[in-house]
Structure 1
Amino acid sequence: MGPLIVYEYISENTNLLMAFIIGIAFGFVLERSGFSSSRKLAGMFYGYDTTVLKVFFTAAIVAMLGLLFFSLFGWIDLSLIYINPTFLWSAIVGGAIMGAGFILGGFCPGTAFCALSIGKLDALTFIGGLVIGVVIFTEGFPLWEELFYAENMGTPTINNLLGLSRGAFGLILILAAFGMFFIGEWAERKFPREEY
């Protein structure tokens, strides 16, 4: 779950159990927020439903503030958190492929499993495509290995790239979220869809 400093109070197994419970809670919140509906998810791209934007921006802010305060109180060591290395070109190409799949299928990988858990068969089709994509990527990796590792940027964080402290970047992100919430509300009024 995370490098909690309080291992003398929370064992590694308890930490994993907490991660499992939080994962179930996360899936429950996704489903209750409507993320098992491909129409609701696709609505983000068409402007008639910005629930995805609101939920994920809220989740990002809560997680960010939680980590910042946990660090402030000495409950977590942020330097121990693993950050995936950034390979710029593979991130751009992979993001474009996933975005196209999201628009065409109406799901991202996480929401597809959320929809499958309540019995939606279109999600099963999407997951089948996801598995085929993983197999193609894995088996064909030598063909695009050079692209995959191109433009290795290491493990930058946005606040470091901008030369900001974590707190200053956090404030900017919160203000940006409020701006995006406002734009989302405007889009829902501008592009209404009565039923979906």
Structure 2
Amino acid sequence: MGPLIVNEIISPDTNLLIALLIGIGFGFVLESSGFSSSRKLAGMFYGYDTTVLKVFFTAAITAMVGMLFFSLFGWMDLSYIYINPTYLTSAIVGGTIMGVGFIVGGFCPGTAFCALSIGKLDALAFVGGLVLGIIIFTEGYPLWEDMYKADFLGAPTMNEILDIPRGVFALGMILVAFAMFWVGEWAEKKFPREEY
């Protein structure tokens, strides 16, 4: 489940057990952070609660910097990390559909299942829509296969696209994160909302 664990050290079954434990831990952290609340998640888009932005930027830059240092110290070979192939058109269309669903429903797929696990009915409706979308996509795949596979870019990283070193990109992302933290604080003051 991680770049530090290879099948020569642990078995595939142990790998699945570790994945299960990580998933349970991730769900626990999501629920403890209040991310099973659609109001908190939708608050990101309306400006009154930018917790999601802060948490995910913090997680991204922590993981990015950690991986860079692990690579620097020889503890991790970044070339072994799988990067999803990029199909630009389908990424834009799929991102738009998911973004609209996120704003309307107040959940992303992970937080929807987290909320469903504690019995929230709005999450049940959202997960139902997610399953329906999966069925429509798979059953209708021949209709939009050409669009799905259009504009294949391979599996580039952002620093490769921008043609800059990894460290410079990481520094830029850290600066962007701090700027977004400031924007989040400003938005919460500009669009206050009573506690829910």
TM-score (norm: length of structure 2): 0.93
Give the 3-state SS of the residue equivalent to 1:49 in structure 2: coil
Q: 2:19 & 2:69 partners in 1: Cα distance? A: 19
Q: 1:59 & 1:21 partners in 2: Cα distance? A: 19
Q: How far does the alpha carbon of each residue in 1:42-88 deviate from its partner, in whole angstroms, 9 at most, with x for none?
A: 00000000011011111111211222222222222111111111011
Residue 43 of structure 1 corresponds to which residue in structure 2? 43
Task: Kindly report which structure 2 residues correspond to 1:1-196, keeping only aligned pairs within 5 A, or say none.
Answer: 1-4=1-4, 10-196=10-196
Q: 2:151 & 2:7 partners in 1: Cα distance? A: 37
Aligned-residue CA RMSD in angstroms? 1.6
Task: Report how far residue 29 of structure 1 moved.
Answer: 1.3
Deviates more, 1:151-160 or 1:23-32: 23-32
Task: Report how far residue 3 of structure 1 moved.
Answer: 2.9
Q: How far does the alpha carbon of each residue in 1:87-126 deviate from its partner, in whole angstroms, 9 at most, with x for none?
A: 1110101111111111111101000001111111110110
Give the 3-state SS of the residue equivalent to 1:153 in structure 2: strand
Given residue 2 of structure 2, which amino acid in structure 1 is its aligned partner? G
Aligned residues: 196
Task: Report how far residue 12 of structure 1 moved.
Answer: 4.6
Give the 3-state SS of the residue equivalent to 1:40 in structure 2: helix
Given residue 145 of structure 2, which amino acid in structure 1 is its aligned partner? E
Q: How far does the alpha carbon of each residue in 1:161-180 deviate from its partner, in whole angstroms, 9 at most, with x for none?
A: 11111111111111110110
8 Å CA contact 1:5–1:74 kept in 2: the answer is no
Task: Report how far residue 11 of structure 1 moved.
Answer: 5.0
Q: 1:3 & 1:49 partners in 2: Cα distance? A: 34
Query: Mind listing any 5+ residue stretches in structure 2 that lack a counterpart?
Result: none
Given residue 158 of structure 2, which amino acid in structure 1 is its aligned partner? I
Deviates more, 1:123-132 or 1:27-36: 27-36
Task: Report how far residue 16 of structure 1 moved.
Answer: 3.8
Q: 1:17 & 1:70 partners in 2: Cα distance? A: 24
Given residue 167 of structure 2, which amino acid in structure 1 is its aligned partner? G
Q: How far does the alpha carbon of each residue in 1:8-63 deviate from its partner, in whole angstroms, 9 at most, with x for none?
A: 65555444433332222221111111110000100000000001101111111121
8 Å CA contact 1:43–1:50 kept in 2: the answer is yes
Query: Mind listing any 5+ residue stretches in structure 1 that lack a counterpart?
Result: none
Q: 1:68 & 1:21 partners in 2: Cα distance? A: 25
